[in-house]
Amino acid sequence: MVEEFAKADVPVRGANDNFSIKMIGNLLLRFGTDAQKDHFLPRIISGEYRWCQGFSETSAGSDLANIKTTARLEGDDWVINGQKIWTSEAVTANWIFVLARTNPDTPPHRGISMLLVPLHQPGIEIRPITMITGAREFNEVFFTDARTSADNVVLGVDQGWKAAMALLGLERGDEAATNPILFRAEVDRLIALVRERGLAGDEIVRDRVARAYTKVEIMRFLGARILTGWLRGDPPAWKLRCPNCIGASITSGSPTWR
């Protein structure tokens, strides 16, 4: 689907699609319960449910296991208290997947759960963060006795660390597999432009186009290996770095790309 969209130059991502389709959608497709799949996946695909990510906290820094947001089970609901920061696209989302501490008596990374929480409720406040450029993409999200159904936990209670690592792997793996398709469409347009302007015989132009084509083909085959690994249940781990490094050199316009 991504390949056909790229060939037709169709926009493939809305503001929340990265979190909705690529991340939580794929995670639920692989690890969700039947009830979660039946409820959430059709609404994610239709765009009715738009997601953001609630991981980072002011006191945790880069130590994700040090989160302070808590969730306690009260009847049929999880009751959530705490704060998240740097939450992208929260103002356009209506659901958030949240890492919260559900067991304070275990080692930090073992007492975390991933909860699926509706954003539009009295116990949640969203405060946009104004950047120096004036942009307000990032937000703080405050939870004060916010609630979600007891069934809205991914991979089970206290399995949030495993869910988070799987989700981040899906994000990187998707980029490694789909970015080469988008870059290949750009190279195809570049080749068409070179021919249109009568530059196909220019040795310098041919050399640069050949370098671009070669890099994208390397990315494409590496991406295919990563996707095949996912389908076989083999997490990509270090393999993700190779196509992403090549992709970074392309998007930054580095001398190796030119």
Would you please indicate which residues are annotated as catalytic (active-site) residues? Answer: 171
3-state helix, strand, coil in the chain (%, to 5): 50, 20, 35
In the chain, the largest separation of any two C-alpha atoms, in whole Å, equals 74
d(CA 127, CA 58): 14
d(CA 222, CA 232): 15
Closest residue by Cα to residue 241 from 186, 181, 153, 176? 176
Query: Which two tokens mark 244?
Result: 């992403």
Closest residue by Cα to residue 164 from 96, 239, 99, 229? 99
Contact present, 236 and 243 (Cβ < 8 Å): no
Query: Which two tokens mark 87?
Result: 């939450």
**H helices present in 126-198, as ranges:** 160-196
d(CA 179, CA 181): 5
